Amino acid sequence: MEESIKLATLPALHGEAYNEASYVVTVGYGTPKKNQTVAFDTGSDVSWVQCKPCVRTCFPQREPLFNPSESSSYRNISCGSLECANLTRSGCSSNTCLYGVVYGDNSTTKGFLGRETLTLTPSDVVKDFVFGCGQDNRGLFGTIAGILGLGRGNHSLVSQTVKKFGGIFSYCLPPPSASSRTGHLTLGAVTKATKNISYTPLNLDHETFYYLDLVGISVGGRVLPINASVFSNAGTIIDSGTVITRLPSSAYAALRSAFKRGMSAYQSTPSKSSLLDTCYDFTAVDTITVPTIVFHFNGGADVEVDVSGTMYEMSGSRFCLAFAGNIDDTDLGIIGNVQQRNLEVVYDTQ
């Protein structure tokens, strides 16, 4: 990668202050810029923020709604444009392109497709950024302003800034309890970190998602007896916008059994969660030793899950194994943001 490729680094925080379990950055939309705190999502392409006049439904957000009529740089995008044609879901109203996104948890956003000046940092400004001006937004978004799409499709921030940042980005996600620690979202190549990073190929046969070739999992230093075809049947994506990792049902069963054996010294407790089923009560426990979990990827990349990403805190002393099983082995596997905590995760899309 040439040294001339720029870097833009944004502070990244866990979204707990916004009642959101994903990670957030604050960017500026418009001229003059209005700060909007958005969740960054590698599992979707379209970036959007809630916009006035909010024709249908807007959820309560912490910051004032973005008002495109107060920005000198906002432009609607026409129905006949290439940007409109490239949308997965689109419509038309008075020759203005309409967008729509449905997320995996059935949250939705709909509105106008527009162009706007996006300020990442004071020295990194993206003009004519294509984004969604949300007029009908429903679901589990907490009090954030919208989504920053970092997927592989044409509308993502990564694709729209490929000439500036080279199609490379990275992030580090701090645990939610580390209130004094700030992570980062960086666009561009981070050369100082590459010497400590193991790379695994991206499967580029699919749009939007970042598919990885997960080939095995270890618990407590032992590789689990899972046939490699279990992982290859549906594939595995890495997604900053999903919280808990989903594994094929047979892979999760093997992981859970090995984890339970490694946690036999601790008091198990019934789960109160519909998603997480292996829980422990650590009341009056001074020191907790959790079995290490390692993902094995094609190309020899072995990624040890940080201890903060192994168990999920449900309440003061109740913790659950932070993995879930899919209903079927053919369902898509997802490596969620909990299992990416305290790791430098680099995406090179070129």
Contacts of 188 (CB under 8 A, 6+ apart): 5, 6, 7, 8, 165, 166, 168, 169
Contacts of 158 (CB under 8 A, 6+ apart): 150, 151, 152, 165, 167, 169, 187, 347, 349
Nearest to 196 by CA among 43, 304, 295: 304
Q: Which of 45, 124, 239, 329 is catalytic?
A: 239
Strand partners, 325: 247
As a whole number of angstroms, the distance between CA 189 and CA 305 comes to 23
As a whole number of angstroms, the distance between CA 134 and CA 319 comes to 37
Nearest to 65 by CA among 55, 54, 51: 51
Residue 103, phi then psi, degrees to nearest 5: -95, 170
136 is catalytic: no
Q: Which of 41, 124, 213, 329 is catalytic?
A: 41
As a whole number of angstroms, the distance between CA 332 and CA 236 comes to 6
Which residue intervals of 105-181 are DSSP H helices?
Answer: 157-160, 162-165
Dihedral angle computed from the Cα positions of residues 188, 192, 197 and 202, in that order, rounded to the nearest 10 degrees:
20
As a whole number of angstroms, the distance between CA 243 and CA 340 comes to 10
Contacts 24+ apart (CB under 8 A), 284-289: 285/317
Cβ atoms within 10 A of the Cβ of 101, count? 22
Pairing of strands 34-41, 146-149: parallel
Residue 96, phi then psi, degrees to nearest 5: -105, 130
41 is catalytic: yes
As a whole number of angstroms, the distance between CA 344 and CA 350 comes to 19
What are the catalytic residues? 41, 239
